[in-house]
Amino acid sequence: MKVILLDNIKGVGKKDEVINASDGYARNFLLPRKLAVEANAENMSKLKNKQDSVQHKRNVEQEKAQEIADKFKDITVNIKVKAGDNGRIFGGVTSKEISENLKAQYKIDVDKKKIVLNETIKNLGVFNVQVKLFEGIVGNLKVNVQE
C-alpha cells in the first residue's frame, strides 16, 4: 500500500515522502496513529501543492539573499569604538555589533549568526567580513572600525 508519511519515522522514511508499506503495517500502525495518509489522488495533489509552495518560498528567499549580497558590494559599515594609543580597541567588535550597525545605518536586517568572524575585531581599520545569507550565497561586507 502506498502511503504519504506525515512525520519522520526512523527506519521507514522522512516527512512528506511517499513509501510503499505493507498493508498490515499501514492499516494497523501508520494510519491509526496518524503517521501517514493513503496515497490517493487527492492526497498526492495536496502533497504536490505543498512541495511547490515550499520550493517557491525557497526561491523567493534565495532571490532576496542575492539582492542583499549585491548591496554589500557598495556598503561600508562604520563602527565607532574607543581605542588605546597603539590602535588596539577596548573589548572588541563582535558579529552582534556589526549586525546592529548594519540595521541602524542601512536598514538591512541580518542575523548575527550569519556573520562569519573567526575572532572578534580588536584593531582599528577596514576589515572584510563574510556573511552567509543562504545556501551557496555569501556576501562580503566591509567594516570600518574607527575611533
Q: DSSP secondary structure string, 77-129?
A: EEEE--B-TTSEEEEEE-HHHHHHHHHHHH-----GGGEE-SS-EEESEEEEE
Last residue of a domain, one of 15, 43, 65: 65
Residues 86 and 128 in one domain: yes
Residues 40, 103 within the same domain: no
Residues 72 and 140 in one domain: yes
What pLDDT is stored for residue 87 in this prediction?
A: 78
Assign residue 15 the CATH number of its domain. Answer: 3.40.5.10
Mean pLDDT for the stretch of residues 54-76? 93
Instruction: Indicate the pTM of the whole model.
Output: 0.74
The mean per-residue pLDDT over the stretch 69-84 comes to 91
13 and 61 both lie in a single domain = yes
CA 10-54-48 angle, to 5 degrees, is 80
Residue 90 pLDDT more than 90?
Answer: no
In this prediction, residue 147 carries a pLDDT of 85
81 with 60, same domain: the answer is no
Last residue of a domain, one of 23, 40, 65: 65
Q: Which three cell numbers, joined as nine digits, stand for 23?
A: 498493508
Together in a domain, 124 and 83 = yes
The per-residue pLDDT for 48 is 97
The answer on 50 and 114 residing in a single domain is: no
State whether 141 and 71 are in the same domain: yes
In angstroms, the CA 144 to CA 4 distance is 53
pLDDT over 90 at 38, yes or no: yes
CATH code where residue 130 lies: 3.10.430.100
Which structural domain, as residue segments, surrounds residue 58? Answer: 2-65
**Whether residue 27 is found in the same domain as residue 38:** yes
Looking at the chain, the whole-number percentage of residues with pLDDT higher than 70 is 100
Domain count, the chain: 2
